[in-house]
Amino acid sequence: MILWFCYQSNFGQTTISGRVYDATNLEALSGATISNSSGDSGTATNSHGYFEWQVPPGTDTVYIRYLGYQEQVLPVMGEQENLRILLSAADFELPQLVVQGTGVSHRLIKYPTSISVIAHQGLARDNQTNIAEPLNRIPGLYMHSGTLNTNRITIRGIGSRSLFSTTKIRAYLNDIPLTTGDGETTLEDVDMSLLDRIEILKGPSSSIYGAGLGGTINMKVGKAPYQKKSISSELSVGSFGLLRNVTKLEISEDKFNIKLNYNNTHQDGYRDNNDYDRQSLSLLTQVYPGKDNVLTFWGAWIDLTAFIPSSLDSAAFAEDPSQAAFTWRQSMGFEDYDKGLIGLNFQQVINPQWDLSISLFGNLRDTYELRPFNILEEESKALGTRFRLNHEPIINKGTLEWIVGGEYFTERYQWRTLENVDREPGAVLSDNDEDRRYFNLFTELTWDLPTGTVLTAGINLNKTNYDYQDLLMAGGMDLSGDYQFEAQWSPRIAVNHQFPSNRALYAQISHGFSPPTLSETLTPDGAINPEIQPETGWNIEVGSRGHVSRSKIWYDVSLYSMFIENLLVARRIGDDQFVGVNAGKTRHRGVDVSLNYTFLELAAFEFHIWTTYAFADYFFKEFVDEGNDFSDNELTGTPRHKFNLGADMNHKSGLYGNINFQSVSSMPITDDNSVHSDAYALLNLKVGYKKEMGKRWKLNFYGGLNNIWDETYASMLLVNASSFGGRPPRYFYPGLPRHYYGGLSLQFSL
């Protein structure tokens, strides 16, 4: 009789099993709970996110919960195996997010490094046309934004001396490098509608990403919501002819996840010769062929045509900031390119102690740029591979995780310049071909002790080579040559301790380097200069993050000091000619502060206040260039103070909104500090309304007003701009005056 009753009891139970992930970065969530509605019966995921649970008889709904993430509710439909449950981050729960900044997944509070995260809520504060707006709320980071296609990012002063692009900062999109073989990064190619999260490592804070001096920006494409099928379209309009459409198809099942995204952005532009058109189509597909593996495919195609107004001198900027530079307006200069990105990643849980991730990626770009002084044609093709092996041995105390891996990248870059004859190509002025190759080997060990201490030690090895061929050989001179520098070893040691009060203290010391671009390796006559060396430096940092005031306030504070040697100076010797020299040393000292305050949190209403502040004391320690001694002068192109203050509001009725204020201090523009930009302050506002109409339709409409005070300011500076032909130097890219936007989004669940 006992056996019979046991059989009947077991027969009435249903077993479900599977794995729980962070929906953004696909990191397994250890300790997620799977239970009935009351929580009195259930189980939890293991260290690899797996679970198996016998659902009690009569239970028709299962709840998956994890602190900092939105609750997932699933109906019980008989025996279910290999569920792939994706949890999305909850709004305003940044401290609880699981991030993978250095390769090992931890909640943000446990990371022994300076890392800032822009979650979905932070990306949605704006109209998602210009990525500079959310990035400039990060302390320690400043993004110059001249136009939608002309930008430059600096992190803690690194990259501030680049002219028209982002250098010395590495960027990845779902583990696909966005950085070229000589270190240039173009984030504006990625439409913000694709992104669900951005993780920013400041300074050389990660051994596994090449130890870039400025840091690493990891951009994450959002997945389709778990067990949902929908199609949505969003249309937004705004000042200066803004017209933008985003259409998405999202399908999520336990065996696969598909996200197809098309977006089209047009803007006439605030300035003359400022039209902008970009279309892109992207596909993210994840397939789960078995219990322990994931196959991910990512591909995107971008088509851009953008006219170039260029920078203005001080007189033209004061007279009429909407005008374009005279020569660019006369020639109607523009750039036109097609760009493709592709990546394939395979993740395998070999056994409870070993995980493997292998990626293959590639990109291509075809560019035509019409400029007043010539026409530039560029073509690049790149292929690469990246692998990472994680080992978690069984030990008596704490958790030990060891990472070993590598990345190999090869790029073929071809470019030539031609005469501009009435906006048509003329005689060939230069014809060049370059092969760029590099590899990174890295290893990192993380020991998570039961006392709350996390110890990390890692090292990165990089080897870079440029093979340059002069195909024109003007005047019979062959300027071809090879450039490489000695292998760079970049170690890192860090420690983090979390106290019972839910506060943590960390410290780290790390080494980084940044290779010179090809133009920086050339002499004035165009030959390779083998004496040019990469910039190298050490970063020393201490910081603290955690909760205070009954967990209503989350804080993140860091103090750092970086010592940079072999400072690379791009010296302009003509309209389109630059050479590089190693001219000295810089010192970068500063403080980054972030605060988030939950002012009110009720069942029907939430009100959050946040602020960030960065103090930057960056100066030339030793700097002599062409006989001029600039030692002890401030570093160009970075503000000494940057302050943000904002508030976010959500009501259960669907009403939401935010207001944010930004203040940026003046910046030195020239190495002798004789020219400075003006300080400026911006105030932005956005309100919206979300509504579910029945079971299938979701409506979202919104409107916003930026630069409410109609401030005149320079949103990008061309540092050390030269004067040619008796014309004054053109330092300033005007920022947008007061402008509005509005949009409507409809989603239909299939």
pLDDT, tens only, 298-307? 999 999 999 9
d(CA 42, CA 30): 15
Give me the mean pLDDT over the 625-649 stretch. 92
Domain spanning 2-87, CATH architecture: Sandwich (2.60)
How close are the terminal C-alpha atoms of the chain, in Å? 50
Tokens of 71: 């609750």
CA angle 163, 541, 170 (to 5 degrees): 35
Tokens of 641: 């103070």
Task: Give, in order, the Cα–Cα distances in Å from 152 to each of 119, 155, 157, 737, 750.
Answer: 22, 10, 12, 20, 41
Give me the mean pLDDT over the 570-589 stretch. 71
pLDDT at residue 572 tops 70: no
* Candidate from 322-326, 456-460, 512-516, 520-524 with smallest mean pLDDT: 520-524
Distance of CA 743 to the CA centre of its chain: 25
pLDDT at residue 9 tops 50: no
Give me the mean pLDDT over the 707-714 stretch. 96
Q: What is the pLDDT of residues 174-210, one digit of tens each?
A: 878 888 877 788 888 888 888 988 999 998 877 787 7
**pLDDT score for 7:** 47
Q: Which strand (E) or helix (H) includes residue 202?
A: strand 195-202
Give me the mean pLDDT over the 440-446 stretch. 91
CB-based contact 510:491 (threshold 8 Å): yes
Report which DSSP code applies to 678: P
- 3-state secondary structure (DSSP) of residue 519: helix
Banded pLDDT at 284 (limits 50, 70, 90): very high
The 10 Å CB-count burial string (b at 16+, else e) for 539-557 is bebebbbbbeeeeeebbbb
Banded pLDDT at 563 (limits 50, 70, 90): very high
Residue type, 229: K
207 vs 54, more confident: 54
Those residues whose C-beta lies under 8 Å from the C-beta of residue 748, and which sit 6 or more positions away, are 230, 231, 232, 696, 697
pLDDT at residue 102 tops 70: no
527 vs 101, more confident: 527
pLDDT at residue 69 tops 50: yes
Of 433, 285, 410, 304, nearest to 365 by C-alpha is 304
- 3-state secondary structure (DSSP) of residue 638: coil
Sign of CA dihedral 33, 36, 39, 42: negative
**pLDDT score for 744:** 96
Those residues whose C-beta lies under 8 Å from the C-beta of residue 87, and which sit 6 or more positions away, are 20, 21, 22, 23, 29, 32, 64, 66, 69, 70, 72, 226
How many CA atoms are closer than 13 Å to the CA of 493, on its beta-carbon side?
A: 1
d(CA 190, CA 302): 9
pLDDT at residue 556 tops 90: yes
Banded pLDDT at 101 (limits 50, 70, 90): low
Distance of CA 514 to the CA centre of its chain: 18
What number of residues does the chain have? Answer: 750
pTM of structure: 0.91
What string of DSSP letters covers 273-320?
A: T--EEEEEEEEEEEEEEETTEEEEEEEEEEEEEEE----B-HHHHHH-
Q: Which strand (E) or helix (H) includes residue 430?
A: strand 424-448
**pLDDT score for 8:** 45
Count CB neighbours of 109 within 10 A.
19
**pLDDT score for 525:** 64
Tokens of 200: 């920013």
Q: What is the pLDDT of residues 654-673, one digit of tens each?
A: 999 999 999 999 999 999 99
pLDDT at residue 344 tops 70: yes
361 vs 394, more confident: 361
Banded pLDDT at 325 (limits 50, 70, 90): very high
CB-based contact 152:165 (threshold 8 Å): yes
d(CA 40, CA 468): 68
CA angle 539, 175, 68 (to 5 degrees): 80
For the chain, give the longest Cα–Cα distance: 105
Q: Which strand (E) or helix (H) includes residue 327?
A: helix 326-331
Give me the mean pLDDT over the 219-228 stretch. 86
Mean pLDDT of the chain: 88
108: left (phi over 0), alpha (psi -120 to 50) or beta: alpha
**pLDDT score for 524:** 60
Report which DSSP code applies to 164: S
d(CA 398, CA 448): 5
φ/ψ of residue 34, rounded to 5: -125, 120
The domain locations on the chain are 2-87, 218-247+261-336+346-373+389-749
CB-based contact 226:253 (threshold 8 Å): no
CB-based contact 236:124 (threshold 8 Å): no
d(CA 132, CA 56): 51
Superfamily of domain 218-247+261-336+346-373+389-749 in the CATH hierarchy? TonB-dependent receptor, beta-barrel domain (2.40.170.20)
Query: Hey, which bits of 45-114 come out as E strands?
Result: 50-55, 61-65, 72-75, 80-87, 98-99, 106-107
Q: Which strand (E) or helix (H) includes residue 8?
A: helix 2-11
Give me the mean pLDDT over the 305-333 stretch. 95
Tokens of 601: 């949190």
**pLDDT score for 575:** 53
CB-based contact 116:99 (threshold 8 Å): no
Reported for 481-488, long-range contacts at CB under 8 A and 24+ positions apart, including other chains, are 481/527, 481/528, 481/530, 482/528, 483/518, 483/521, 483/528, 483/530, 483/532, 485/515, 485/533, 485/534, 487/461, 487/462, 487/463, 488/211, 488/460, 488/461, 488/462, 488/463, 488/513, 488/534, 488/536
